[in-house]
Structure 1
């Protein structure tokens, strides 16, 4: 799908505030409300906009521990990759899972309430997953930067 300047403006504004009304959005992008809503629905239908979410403070929810986990599999064929991905996708603690290049096969970002919860996640889940050759974990000390808005000026 080819995005024009108006589509880019719509996406830029919605990434910053997805709760704005269609009338506000239309005014900001220089359209009347009806054509703006039509464009918005097209962006949703064509899968450019995948959904709307709320950015929640994990500390307030009691999830202050973030762990970056690098996983190396013993076998890296398609069946093994899919099996690992299926297993890991069932764990709500796993916020991100990326198949990556390099020494490891997967990059995970996991959020947990305590170090004890991490130990349980590791011993009761990850280490019991078939086909794991090695795991390397790093605990984040502080979130320096997290951009919820994708760059639209490329």
Structure 2
């Protein structure tokens, strides 16, 4: 996939101004709004842009506890992994789930309203997911960086 300087500029702007109109993006990127529309359509169709969303602050909506949880499976067969992934996918408390290399098999980011809610989720839902062997959680005390924007100037993307 080839991204040129305009694509990179467009994507950089869009990461921090997700509600910008084509006209606003065009002013920043020095292209016409119609060119912005075509580029966005292309970037969406090739999967560079996966979607658009609003980023909510958990603490402002009552989800005051966040945990990063390492999870190990008892076994690693294809059917066990597929079932585990299906079960995790439907748990709304699990915001992210990553297969990792290291001391655990998966790393999850979980939110809950309170420590009690987190405890109940872990004991009554997460520990009961078929195939789970052990869980270790780290509770977030404070978050001081949470940008979420991709460092496009560091990406090894071919640029025309």
Look up the match of 1:9.
Answer: 9
Distance 1:144 1:112 in 2: 19
1:36 has 2:36 as partner: yes
Distance 2:131 2:37 in 1: 48
State the TM-score, normalized to the length of structure 2. 0.92
Deviation per residue, 1:7-54 (Å, 9 max, x gap): 011100000101111011011111111111111111112211111111
1:119 has 2:119 as partner: yes
Divergent runs of 4+, >2 A? none
Look up the match of 1:73.
Answer: 73
Larger relative contact order (CA 8 Å, sep ≥ 6) = 2
Query: After alignment, is 8-17 or 53-62 more displaced?
Result: 53-62
Deviation per residue, 1:97-133 (Å, 9 max, x gap): 0000011100001000011111211121111112112
Distance 2:147 2:76 in 1: 31
Look up the match of 1:130.
Answer: 130
Distance 2:80 2:46 in 1: 31
Query: After alignment, is 116-125 or 13-22 more displaced?
Result: 116-125
Distance 1:28 1:93 in 2: 38
Matches within 5 A, 1:51-62: 51-62=51-62
Query: Aligned-pair distance for 1:147?
Result: 2.0
Task: Give the match's secondary structure for 2:135.
Answer: strand
Distance 1:130 1:41 in 2: 41
State the TM-score, normalized to the length of structure 1. 0.96
Distance 2:115 2:22 in 1: 44
